[in-house]
Amino acid sequence: MIGKKKRAEQKTGKERNRYDVDEYLDEKVSLFNIRRVVGYLIKAQGPLKLSLLFSILASLSSLVGPLFIKRALDEAVPNKDLNLLFTMALFLTASIIASITLGAIRNILVARAGAGIIHDIRYDLFSHLQKLSFSFFDSRPHGKIFVRVVPYVNSVSDALSNGIINFIIEVLNILFIIFFMYQVSPQLATITVLGLPVFALFIMIIKPAQRKAWQDVSNKGANLNAYVQESIDGVKVTQIFDRQEKNMGIMDNLTNARNKSWMKAIYISNTVWFSTEMISQIVFSFVYIMGVFWMNPMASFGMLLVMGNYTWRFWQPIINLANIYNTFITAMAYLDRIFDTIAEPVTIQDIPNAVEFPFVRGHVEFKNVSFSYDGVRRVLNNINFASHPGQSIAIVGPTGAGKTTIVNLLSRFYNIEEGQVLIDGQDIMKVTLHSLRSQMGIMLQDSFLFTGSIADNIRYGKLDAADEEIRAAAQLIGAHHFIEKLPQGYDTPITERGGGISAGERQLLAFSRTLISNPRILILDEATSSIDTGTEQLVQEGIQTLMKGRTSFIIAHRLSTIRNCTRIMFISDGEIIESGTHEELMAQKGRYYELCLAQYSH
- Minimum mean pLDDT range among 152-161, 435-444, 552-561: 152-161
Handedness of CA 315, 318, 319, 320 (dihedral sign): positive
Long-range contacts of 460-464 (CB under 8 A, 24+ apart): 460/513, 461/512, 461/513, 461/514, 461/515, 461/516, 461/517, 462/516, 462/517, 462/518
**Section 244-272 average pLDDT:** 86
pLDDT value, residue 535: 61
What is the band of 9 on the pLDDT scale with cuts at 50, 70, 90? very low
* Cα 407 from Cα 569, distance rounded (Å): 13
Q: Quote the mean pLDDT of the chain.
A: 82
Residue 291 has a pLDDT of: 65
Checking if the pLDDT of 1 tops 50, the result is no
pLDDT at 20: 65
Quick one: pLDDT at residue 271?
Answer: 82
pLDDT number for residue 75 = 81
Residue 481: which pLDDT band, with cuts at 50, 70 and 90?
A: confident
pLDDT at 109 exceeding the cut of 90: no
**Per-range mean pLDDT, top range of 69-73, 222-226, 489-493:** 489-493
Higher pLDDT, 31 or 511: 511
Q: Is the pLDDT of residue 4 over 50?
A: no
Q: What is the pLDDT of residue 452?
A: 85
pLDDT at 15: 47
pLDDT (0 to 100) of residue 409: 94
How would residue 363 be classed by pLDDT, with cut points 50, 70 and 90? very high
What is the reported pLDDT for 595?
A: 86
pLDDT score of 59 more than 50? yes
Specify the pLDDT at position 364: 95
CATH topology of domain 31-342: ABC transporter transmembrane region fold (1.20.1560)
536 pLDDT higher than 70: no
AA identity, residue 107: N
Nearest alpha-carbon partner for 52 in 138, 130, 134, 165: 165
CA dist 274 and 2 (Å) reads 33
Q: What is the pLDDT, as a whole number, of residue 178?
A: 83
- Write down the domain spans for the chain: 31-342, 350-439+553-602
- The mean per-residue pLDDT over the stretch 577-594 comes to 92
DSSP string, 453-511: EHHHHHHTTSTT--HHHHHHHHHHHT-HHHHHHSTTGGG-EE-GGGTTS-HHHHHHHHH
Q: Domain 350-439+553-602: what homologous superfamily?
A: P-loop containing nucleotide triphosphate hydrolases (3.40.50.300)
Supply the pLDDT for residue 585.
Answer: 93
Q: Report DSSP state, residue 399.
A: T
Higher pLDDT, 416 or 180: 416
Phi and psi at 311, nearest 5°, equal -65, -45
Q: Which of 585, 586, 590, 582 is nearest to 565 (CA)?
A: 582
Question: Considering the chain, what percentage of its residues have pLDDT values greater than 70?
Answer: 87
Q: 13 pLDDT exceeds 60?
A: no
pLDDT for the residue numbered 149: 84
pLDDT band at 186 (very low <50, low <70, confident <90, very high): confident
Of these ranges, 25-34, 269-278, 386-395, the one predicted with the greatest mean pLDDT is 386-395
Q: Which one is predicted more confidently, 322 or 420?
A: 420
Q: Give the mean model confidence (pLDDT) for residues 243-258.
A: 87
Q: Give the integer Cα–Cα distance in Å for 562 and 552.
A: 11
Lowest mean pLDDT across 157-166, 207-216, 448-457 = 157-166
Phi, psi of 466 (to 5 degrees): -80, 165
Q: What is the pLDDT of residue 462?
A: 86
What DSSP assignment string belongs to 173-200?
Answer: HHHHHHHHHHHH-HHHHHHHHTHHHHHH
CA distances to 313, 417, 423, 426, 513 from 420, rounded to whole Å, are 71, 9, 10, 10, 30
Mean of pLDDT values over 17-32: 65
* Residue 130 in this model has a pLDDT that exceeds 70: yes
Which of 237-246, 297-306, 493-502 shows the lowest per-residue confidence on average (mean pLDDT)? Answer: 297-306
Neighbours of 45 (CB within 10 A): 11
Q: Report which DSSP code applies to 560.
A: H
The mean per-residue pLDDT over the stretch 287-292 comes to: 69
Per-residue model confidence (pLDDT) at position 534? 62
In the predicted structure, residue 12 carries a pLDDT above the cut 50: no
Which amino acid, one-letter code, is at 424? D
> What does the pLDDT read at residue 530?
59
Look at residue 292 in the predicted model and tell me its pLDDT: 65
367-416 per-position pLDDT tens digit: 999 999 877 889 999 999 999 998 999 999 888 899 989 999 999 989 88
- Tell me what pLDDT residue 321 has: 79
| pLDDT score for 14 | 44
Which amino acid is present at 359?
A: F
**541: pLDDT strictly greater than 70:** no
